[in-house]
Structure 1
Amino acid sequence: MTRSLEEANDLSALDAKVLREIHTDGWQITGVLAREREQGPDFAYSIGFFHTLQHPEVILFGLPVETCMKAVNVIGLDIQNGVKFQADRIYEGILKAPHLCCFKEVDPRFYREHVGYALWFYESDPFPMLQCFWSDQFGRFPWDPDCSDYAREAQPVHLSTS
């Protein structure tokens, strides 16, 4: 069960805005600034991809929050147009070249730390999430031994062990 639009009048302005965007646009992108958390990089995540498009939610770390939000929204538009992003596949065109993207399944144990609004929206319903990793300028990802320190340190790894 997810939150319904009928609840909007009984919620805070921010909570009501999140619900309206999901029910009007199909999803909402939440951006989180590092300075608001006192640790870790900026990041953004989707709320509603699973509800509206039957596609895992997406989280992206380590770029400026505006860039993260735009990229996750581009992913949503691609999903809306029929793309099904899959774990362990490399994709071009989400971020500016030379950066590639690769998706990995996120372990639900990390949801509470990063995607509170998604947990709130889905209430007790389980939902899948993919982490969108970006490569360094040479096409290497954080799990590659020669990946740049910046790309590795900017992207915490919260992978599913299943």
Structure 2
Amino acid sequence: MGEDLAGRTIADNVREYGWHCLHVFPTQEGQDKFSYSIGFGESYGAPEVLVFGLEREKAHAILNECANLFKGGHTVRPNVEDPDVLGGGYKVVFKPVRPDCFNEYLGTALRYYQGKPFGAVVMFLPDRQHRFPWQPGYDYIPADEPLAIV
């Protein structure tokens, strides 16, 4: 019953808002919390977006900004710095999630899409010096887990 209710809630949110935000909390040592969209593919023809290490409210706000951009026709260009998501001159980088990681990281989205193909990307945020996790000196959100799935 709980899963049916969750599925209905997700479907209702996608119908009403164009997407649903799912927050996932670690169940094992070494895992990071993350949030992701469900419905970007269906509503905007965009990949679902995962963001790691942020508090719920901040993650939701950033994913909502993505939804607004996608609604306006913005497209994700993987592995290219995107200046449109954050303010203050900060850019993000989207990297595609490996297909073999969908079951572990996007299980609820897989159930929602019921076998229909969809894409997914991890959104990487810069540190205060505009560096990304793969650059020397990066000092912000731990990124080992998200880097391992792209």
Please give the TM-score of this superposition, normalised by the length of structure 2.
0.86
Higher CA-based Rg: 1
Corresponding position of 1:19: 11
Aligned with 2:65: secondary structure?
helix
Corresponding position of 2:99: 108
- Decide whether the 8 Å contact of 2:23 with 2:36 is kept in 1: yes
2: CA distance, partners of 1:111 / 1:67 = 23
Aligned with 2:118: secondary structure?
coil
The farther-off stretch of 95-104 and 54-63 is 95-104
Q: Give the AA of the match of 1:118.
A: A
Q: Give the AA of the match of 1:25.
A: Y
Q: In structure 2, which of residues 119, 122, 125 is the aligned counterpart of residue 128 of structure 1? A: 119
Corresponding position of 2:51: 60
- Decide whether the 8 Å contact of 1:45 with 1:59 is kept in 2: yes
* Cα shift readout 1:90-126 (whole Å, capped 9, x = no counterpart): 1235345464311111112111112211010111222
Alignment of 1:19-98 (within 5 A): 19-34=11-26, 37-39=27-29, 40-92=31-83, 94-95=85-86, 97=88
Q: Identity, % of aligned pairs?
A: 27
Tell me the matched-pair count.
147
CA RMSD of aligned residues (A): 2.2
1: CA distance, partners of 2:14 / 2:56 = 20
Please give the TM-score of this superposition, normalised by the length of structure 1.
0.80
Aligned with 1:104: secondary structure?
strand
